[in-house]
Amino acid sequence: MAAFEDDLLALLPRLRRFARALARDAADADDLCQVALEKALRARTSWQPGTRMDSWMYRIMRNSWIDTARSRSRAAQTFVEEEAGVAVGTEGDAEARLVQHDIDAAMHALPDEQREAVALVLVEGLAYKEAAEILDIPMGTLTSRLVRGRQALMARLGEAA
Amino acid sequence: MSIDPEMLMAYADGELGPIEAKRVERAIAEDPALAEEVARHRALRAALGARFAPIADEPVPDPLAVVLRSNVIALPHARARRAVPGWARWGGAIAASLVLGLAIGHGVQDPGYVRTQGGQLYAAGKLANALDTQLAAGSGTVRMPVSFRDAQGGYCRVFTSPVADGIACRGAQGWALRQTRPGSARATTEYAQAGSVDPALMAAAQEMMAGDPLDAAAEARARSAGWRR
């Protein structure tokens, strides 16, 4: 049965990236990963070998994120966002950190339903169909959320993107 | 004719079928603003990719590994797998390139399977020809068990041959080799089984694939369209 954990471990780098695109900061993202992993281990019998484990895991992580993120107050998030700017980016040069911060702030300003669509398609590189299945929404709903999210990001990032 | 924002975005992402894509291309040709919007969509994808890609390259923090570690005894193997640095994965490709290099070197009666252009490996000769013309159902020493579209909407094909197995994606310059490894279908094996494709290669294809593999009809259509996206 170790193969299951092995496969999960191999997925972890991608799951961390997805979590980072969803969550407020790096610490929250790793908390989210931990919650999602624990859930996955408890729910392992619901995964069918031979199906896509990444899709299954993305779905678990996204649902965990909904559970935790929605219980937080928006006001608290806005407050923390201010200081996050100082802590952002321990890697790269100043300009790269600035772009990084801009992108993080722009992502964070998106409504959750747009952010998750953007994270799956633009960060994780999934096809629309796969993203719609993970989010359990029709294709039309996915594309309309995605296009609104992207337009908001492009407007906010302007030429920086 | 008007192109709605969703359709334009889907075009930028390579998510449209050939007929819809043609429609959008015609509209773009008449309206530079649409072309700009496509470029903005692609730039945003690139910017987000560049922002988040490094996170997937970071070592996984211990507390996360611990969640799995506490659940499994066979950990050393799992950890070893995670510890493989990115560049090591290229080892196989380098080895295969050497094999391919030999194939070029001995190209007296063999036209060679590969050429280089601008530092990139491309399929040549028999391999390029098979990639262009052969369908998954075909047989022979060079086989194409799976064809698919990647996230950018380009066509890619998994191939097996006596010299190398791999994945080739169709670009403007020809079939760029994205993955190569030593060939599994030896010259003596005229009818290699599709089931004999290296699972790691199929996993790599799965990673690159947007949506499902092409079925026989879609593959035939892609071939008659010259594998252009």
The Cβ of residue B132 has, within 10 Å, a number of other Cβ atoms equal to 15
Q: Does residue A85 surpass a pLDDT of 60?
A: no
The alpha carbon torsion through A17, A19, A21, A25 (nearest 10 deg) reads: -110
Taking an 8 Å cut-off on Cβ atoms, the answer to whether A128 and B13 are in contact is yes
Q: Does residue A137 surpass a pLDDT of 90?
A: yes
> In whole angstroms, what is the distance from residue A139 CA to residue B22 CA?
21
Contact residues, chain A, for B47 at CB < 8 Å: 99, 103, 157, 160-161
The alpha carbon torsion through A49, A23, B62, A34 (nearest 10 deg) reads: -50
Q: Does residue B11 surpass a pLDDT of 90?
A: yes
Q: Does residue A63 surpass a pLDDT of 90?
A: yes
Q: To which H or E segment does residue B6 belong? A: helix B5-12
Average pLDDT over residues B150-173: 87
Q: Which residue of B has its CA nearest to A101?
A: B51
**For residue B143, what pLDDT is reported?**
85
> In whole angstroms, what is the distance from residue A133 CA to residue B12 CA?
21
Q: What is the CATH number of the domain that holds A78?
A: 1.20.140.160
Taking an 8 Å cut-off on Cβ atoms, the answer to whether A13 and B63 are in contact is no
User: Which of A122, A125, A154 is nearest residue B40 as measured by Cβ atoms?
Assistant: A154
CA distance A75 to chain B (A): 26
Least confident segment among A42-51, A116-125, B11-20: A42-51
Q: A131, A54 in Cβ contact below 8 A? A: no
Q: Does any CB of chain A come closer than 8 Å to the CB of residue B200?
A: no
B46-to-A18, A21, B16, B49, B150 alpha-carbon distances in Å: 16, 14, 19, 5, 15
pLDDT band with cut points at 50, 70 and 90 for residue B17 = very high
> In whole angstroms, what is the distance from residue A86 CA to residue A90 CA?
10
Structure tokens at B214: 């092409």
- Summary mean pLDDT of chain B: 76
Over residues B82-140, the pLDDT tens digits come to 444 444 444 444 444 444 444 444 433 445 777 877 777 888 888 888 899 888 877 77
Over residues B31-83, the pLDDT tens digits come to 999 999 999 999 999 999 999 999 998 888 777 777 776 654 333 333 334 44
**For residue A50, what pLDDT is reported?**
80
Specify the number of domains making up chain A. Answer: 1
| Residues spanned by the domain of A108 | 2-160
Contact residues, chain A, for B203 at CB < 8 Å: none
CA distance B199 to chain A (A): 13
- Residue B143 β-bridge partners: B160
**Of B204 and B27, the one with more pLDDT:** B27
User: Which of B43, B54, B79 is nearest residue A161 as measured by Cβ atoms?
Assistant: B43
How buried is residue B117: exposed, middle or buried, by Cβ count under 10 Å (0-12/13-18/19+)? exposed
Q: B186, B196 in Cβ contact below 8 A? A: no
Average pLDDT over residues A70-75: 52
**For residue B94, what pLDDT is reported?**
46
Taking an 8 Å cut-off on Cβ atoms, the answer to whether A12 and B13 are in contact is no
User: What ipTM was estimated for this complex?
Assistant: 0.85
**Of B36 and A69, the one with more pLDDT:** B36
